[in-house]
Amino acid sequence: MDLIFLQLLTGLAGASTLFLVAAGLTVIFGVTRVVNFSHGSLYMLGAFIAWSILSRLPREPEYFVLGVLGAALATAVIGALLEVLLLRRIYRAPELLQLLATFGMVLVVQDVALWIWGPVDLSLSRPRWLRGAVEVFGLRFPFYDLVLIVVGPVVLGLLLLLFHRTRWGLLVRAATQDRDMVAALGVDQRVLFTSVFALGAGLAGLGGALALPQGSANLHMDLSVIAEAFVVVVVGGMGSLTGAFLAALLIGVLQAFGIALVPKITLVLVFLVMAAVLVVRPHGLLGKPQAMARGEVEALAPIRPAGPALHVLGLVALVLAILAPFFAGPYLLSVLTEAAVAVLFAASLHVMMGPGGMASFGHAAWFGVGAYAAAFAAKGLGAGMAAGLLLAPFAAGALALLVGAFVVRMSGVYLAMLTLAFAQIAWAVAFQWVEVTGGDNGVLGVWPDAWAADKPTLYWLALLLCVGGALVLRRALFAPFGFALRATRDSALRAEAVGLDAYRLRWVAFGLAGAGAGLSGAVFAYAKGSVFPTYMAIPHSVDALVMVLLGGVQTMAGPIVGAVSFTVLHSWLLMGEFWRIKLGLLIMALVLAFPAGIAGAASAAWERWRGRAP
């Protein structure tokens, strides 16, 4: 009984910091419609800055309060700067590119933090008053946890007052519903957006600073907190502060009990609860259906099959690829093998993202499941490569269908967040379930059969399976299935009215995408001879997104072009120290320069040129 009570209080304390982060995320999303991936980075910065301030201040309570507020304020200022420098330029971009640009920011902040604070976890030696305990119902309970439990509702109350009792709050709520109309009524959107972003960033910074005494400031806290914050925001209902508060309580308590009772499957439990909530309430606990934000009318150019010129070009490239082992050295060949894997990885994501209209931020999950399936076939079953290559797409596809069964009910950013949360959970399972996955050490010795062991054969196999797979997917997109899928994306209402089953079409596309990624993961596993949890990590999911967007979502050749150029770029430019900052800046530059992707920009240029030719 006592243990349960203590665990409950611990859960409530954790819920408070989670709420602060989620509240900032949801407020920023409400007004700017940007899902701010870098919100976790602001939380991390809040913790680091708090460490820098607090470790220099006297250790009395009043200085602690001042230091925490100072860190929150500093984070708010940083947030405002980020808004002015980056976000302001991308409000009109498609929401996916916005997500991607803010992920670029995540990478940049990681390297900047590494540069300033170094790689070591920084913890605060806690003063005595912070370590004290209070008697609650005859139980000794950590004082600081009680402080945190009080902070959550107090901040919620202050925010509700701010939004419902001030003119600024009224304008923010109005802008949440129709920002262009607010501007047309004479309100300067820029001031509103920057101030909202600063508020959200400040809340994240406050959360980070308050979390510091219980843990440490480290370079991993950004991605781990953002996944949790996404879950909280989705469960609570996008844009609802009270919903975020309830969801944070639910998730916080669940995690506290999960860790005490069933530590291994805590994260799975979180995902299941989220699934249950969303099945009953598709828009979250207190959420409302999200209308398309005004001013985001997306003009879709019709997708045309490749013309003869492109066919010839593609054929030449394919022949060159097949002949590559005769002129390429071993290093280039291994880069080309990776490129082949990337082609299927990106093409499978494109199926759901382009024609399916479902952007996944967790596509690496299926890649990883495929890789682990191959590893399991090799090490667990002792089976040959053929078995592994067969098992992988089925395992990944089946799991994708299972998860997709409720994920595809969502759309837009909800779906992106859910897929991200699921991938994060899959990653955590691979990381924690050491007995099966080897944890961080991975599974080694996943080698191909003897006949395919030499580099050229392995390369040809990768080419056959991956490029072949990508071409099969492409074919399906021009077949009735692809038309029907695009129809559901263009207008689900109309698609249902002509007799299409939108849900099942999206679901099958999701499963197909999972199976394709699974196969590419298995090929990669055999090519590398090993499987690690990082295959499923968020950055790998983002790689897939970058490839698709690099190529252009609305062109069918896009993912292929994107995958090859990204792999080459990666092995060429993005090696060594501070690769994150380079990749981050590259992503941001791409989003700012080519909102339609490289292939999209190229085809637009081609159309212009052809239009001018006599």
Partner 1 sequence: MMLPPPALQVENLHAGYGGAKILRGVSFELAAGEVLVLLGRNGAGKSTTIKALMGLLRPTAGRVRLAGQDIAGAEPHRIARAGLGWVPEERRVFPDLTVAENLEVGRRPARAGLAPWTPERLFALFPNLAGLRARPGARISGGEQQMVAIARTLMGNPRVLLLDEPGEGLAPVIVDLMVEAILALKREGATVLLAEQSLAFAARVADRAAILETGRIVWEGAIDALLADTGARARHLQV
Partner 2 sequence: MSVLVAEGLRKRFGANEAVAGVSLAVEPGEMLALIGPNGAGKSTCFNMLGGQLRPDEGVVRLGERDVTGMAPRHLAHLGVGRTFQITASFASMTVRENVQTALLAQARQAWRFWRAADAQHVAQAEALLSRVGMASQAARPAGVLAYGDLKRLELALALAGKPVLLLMDEPTAGMAPAERAALMALVRGIAREQGVAVLFTEHDMDVVFGHADRVLVLDRGRLIAQGTPAEVRADPRVRAVYLGTAA
Residues that bind partner 1 (CB under 8 A): 167, 170-171, 173-174, 176-178, 180-189, 288, 291, 294, 299
- Residue 182 interface partner, choices partner 2, partner 1, none, CB cut-off 5-8 Å depending on type: partner 1
CB of 519 to partner 2, least distance (A): 16
Nearer to partner 2, 252 or 552 (CB): 552
- Kindly tell me which of 177 and 411 has the beta carbon lying closer to partner 1: 177
Q: Which of 305, 307, 329, 468 binds partner 2 (CB under 8 A)?
A: 305
Residue pair 42/24 in contact by the 8 Å Cβ criterion = yes
| Spatial CB neighbours of 94, under 8 Å, sequence gap ≥ 6 | 298, 595
Least distance to partner 2 from the beta carbon of 509, Å?
A: 11
495's contact among partner 1, partner 2, none, with CB below 5 to 8 A by partner kind, is partner 2
Residues between 529 and 568 that touch partner 2 (CB under 8 A) = 554
**Which one, 394 or 478, has the nearer CB to partner 2?**
478
Identify what 501 binds: partner 1, partner 2, none; CB under 5 to 8 Å per kind: partner 2
Q: Is 255 exposed, middle or buried (0-12, 13-18, 19+ CB in 10 A)?
A: buried
| 296: contact with partner 2 by CB under 8 A | no
In DSSP notation, 231-275 reads HHHHHH-TT-HHHHHHHHHHHHHHHHHHHHH-GGGHHHHHHHHHH
Q: In sequence order, what DSSP letters do the residues of 447-477 get, joined into one string?
A: PPPGGG-SHHHHHHHHIIIIIHHHHHHHHHH
With contacts defined by CB under 8 A, name the span among 45-53, 306-314, 475-483, 600-608 that binds partner 2.
475-483
Is the CB of residue 547 less than 8 Å from the CB of residue 352? no
499 binds partner 2 (CB under 8 A): yes
Angle 91-94-99 (CA atoms, 0-180°, nearest 5)?
Answer: 80
496: partner contacted, choices partner 1, partner 2, none (Cβ within 5-8 A by kind): partner 2
Distance separating alpha carbons of residues 529 and 181, to the nearest angstrom: 57
Q: Which residues pair with 135 in a beta bridge?
A: 140
Report the nearest approach of partner 1 to the CB of residue 145 (Å): 36
- Which CB, 201 or 487, lies closer to partner 2? 487
CB nearer to partner 2: pick between 57 and 479:
479
C-beta of residue 502 within 8 angstroms of C-beta of residue 495: yes
Shortest distance, position 495 Cβ to partner 2, whole Å: 8
Indicate whether 498 belongs to the interface with partner 2 (CB under 8 A): yes
User: Rounded to the nearest whole angstrom, what is the least distance from the CB of residue 375 to partner 2 in the complex?
Assistant: 30
**Residue 481 partner contact from partner 1, partner 2, none using kind-dependent CB cut-offs of 5 to 8 Å:** partner 2
Q: Which is nearer to partner 1, 244 or 343 (CB)?
A: 244
Burial string for 458-480 (b: 16+ CB within 10 Å, else e) reads: bbbbbbebbbebbbebbebbeee
- Tell me if 1 contacts partner 2 by CB under 8 A: no
Site string for partner 2, 242-281 (x = CB under 8 A): ----------------------------------------
Residue 174 beta carbon to partner 1: minimum distance, rounded to whole angstroms:
5
Classified as helix, coil or strand, 400 is helix
Ramachandran angles phi, psi of 185, nearest 5°: -95, 10
Q: Does 491 bind partner 2 (CB under 8 A)?
A: yes
Residue position matching structure tokens 């219980």: 214
Q: Which two tokens stand for residue 139?
A: 């139980």
34 alpha-carbon distance from chain centroid: 13
Dist CA 581 CA 253 (whole Å): 36
**292 touches partner 2 (CB under 8 A):** no
Instruction: Looking at 298-329, list the stretches that DSSP marks H as alpha helix, in order from N- to C-terminal side.
Output: 308-327
Q: Which of 257, 460, 481, 578 binds partner 2 (CB under 8 A)?
A: 481
Cβ nearer to partner 2, comparing 486 with 570: 486
CB atoms within 10 A of CB 196: 25
Stretch that binds partner 2, among 100-108, 335-343, 473-481, 581-589 (CB under 8 A): 473-481
Binder to partner 2 among 57, 161, 402, 479 (CB under 8 A)?
A: 479
Which long-range contacts (C-beta less than 8 Å, at least 24 apart) are formed by 273-280?
A: 273/235, 274/231, 274/234, 274/235, 274/418, 274/421, 275/406, 277/235, 277/247, 278/234, 278/235, 278/406, 278/409, 278/410, 278/418, 279/406
Which is nearest to 205 in space by CA: 341, 81, 346?
81
| CA 260 – CA 246 distance, rounded (Å) | 21
Task: Count CA atoms within 13 Å of residue 311 on its CB side.
Answer: 5
Considering the complex, state which of residue 178 and residue 449 has its C-beta at the smaller distance from partner 1.
178
Binding-residue total with partner 2 (CB under 8 A):
32
- The answer to the question of residue 178 lying near partner 2 (CB under 8 A) is no
Which positions lie near partner 2, rule CB under 8 A?
Answer: 299-303, 305, 475-476, 478-484, 486-487, 489-491, 493-502, 505, 554
